[in-house]
Amino acid sequence: MKGAFLVNPNDIRLLEQEVPEPKYGEIRIKLNQIGICGSDVHLFLGHRKLDKATIIGHEGVGIIDKIGEGVEGRNIGEKVVIEPNFPCFKCKHCMSGHGNICINKRILGINEAGCFAEYVVIPANFGWEIPSEISDADAVTIEPTAVAYHALMTSKAKPGDTIAILGSGAIGLLLTHLALRLGYKVFVTEINQEKLNKAVEMGAIPAVATGNLEEQSQVLEKIWLENDVCAVFECAGSPFTASLATDAAPRGSEIVLVGLSEKNATFRPLKIAREGITIVPSIIYDHPFDFKRVIQLIASKIIQPSMIISSYEPLSNISAALERAAQGNESKIVITV
């Protein structure tokens, strides 16, 4: 089979290798669509290092091609979406219901062969059957939608409340779409005009601020305070926006950290403590609940996450697709096999 191995930063190669065989409790997926995630772009650019050349990618959709021993209730030809983070279910975090921060977590495209390939092998319980009424386009966006859903459910904000979202990349747009469809009022802040326009087209309200940290903070703090924003979701994943969120958050609100910046941000402890602001982390999703609920929301036609897809590219053009994704102008590029 062909697999896209990230050999070095900016060096991804489509190489031939043997088709993987499913072991006990595993299924093999013949992939047909894979979404490019921001984390794939960071790996491609060398912002995060892998221990060895690895097939990256984790937002995969395909059909079950082969079933390993010990797997029951699955069928050849069944359409599935992949949940790509596999907790160990044995560590103290898993045992306390926090598998999303499992210390032994197996991750497709990081420490296991990923989805930018013709086939991938996964534990059977992490291949979710897709109902016939869900299109491949919606299916391939289920994984990032689960990230957005988990973030929204992590917050204490409820339908009818007003929230603010910093950053309208794929996760920010999905969070915007999800929140609006579930009855929240949403303010969005985004420097890319096309992405901001997309969020506004969904029904979000733009909150535009320019200048340095202090100047932007003053503008957003006024808008958020006047509109009773109770939760601020940082989705841009930059130290500037994380600092901006903590600086401008209204009294008594929450800050939900969804972005994955590895660089230091700043905040004023006095403001956080004196104004009763809560900082809440949100990382990936809870197994099995979040994927199940997102699939139900799509099947019920409440949400349509495929609206974030901006273009398609064949697997043979994976390098060019990653380069284009790195420019930051596309909301979601999907690779076809």
Beta carbons of 52 and 109 less than 8 angstroms apart? no
Beta bridge partners of 234: 166, 257
Alpha-carbon span 85 to 201, nearest angstrom: 32
Give catalytic status of residue 150 as yes or no: no
Instruction: Take residue 86 and report the two structure tokens written for it.
Output: 């596999």
The single residue of 39, 168, 217, 253 carrying the catalytic annotation is 39
Burial tier of 272 (Cβ tally within 10 Å: 0-12, 13-18, 19+): middle
Q: Give the dihedral sign, CA 102/103/108/109.
A: positive
Query: What DSSP line would sit under 309-335, residue for residue?
Result: --EEEEGGGHHHHHHHHHTT--S-EEE
User: Among 75, 163, 167, which residue's Cα sits nearest to residue 124?
Assistant: 75
Q: What is the DSSP string of 219-266?
A: HHHHHHHHTTEEEEEE-S--HHHHHHHHHHPPTT-EEEE-S---S---
Q: Which of 42, 93, 310, 319 is catalytic?
A: 42
* 39 catalytically annotated: yes
Give residues with Cβ within 8 angstroms of 39, minimum separation 6.
Answer: 48, 58, 260
| Residues tagged active-site | 39, 42
